Amino acid sequence: MATNAIIRKNELSSLLEVAQHALNEVSKGKPMKQFKAVLGIVCRLRTDFIAAVSQIIEKIKTELTDVMHDVNAVNGEVVTPEVKVTRSPVSVLVHWSESSVFKDEEQVYTFADFERLAKDAAICNGNVIDNGYSKTKVTVALVNDITGCTESYGCRLDLALGDVVGFRDHAQQMIRYHETAEGAAYHKAIGLVSHVEFLKTINWGV
> Length of the chain in residues, anyone?
206
Domains in the chain: boundaries? 4-71, 87-200
Backbone angles phi, psi at 126, to 5 degrees: 75, -150
pTM above 0.75, yes or no: no
pLDDT per residue rounded down to tens, the chain (206 residues): 445 666 666 666 666 676 667 666 666 666 555 555 555 554 555 566 666 667 777 777 777 677 676 666 545 554 555 668 899 999 999 999 999 999 899 999 999 999 999 999 999 988 877 778 999 999 999 999 888 899 999 999 999 998 999 999 999 999 999 999 999 999 999 999 999 999 999 999 85
* Residue 29 parent element (H or E): none
The identity of residue 37, as a single letter, is A
CA 148 to chain CA centroid, nearest Å: 10
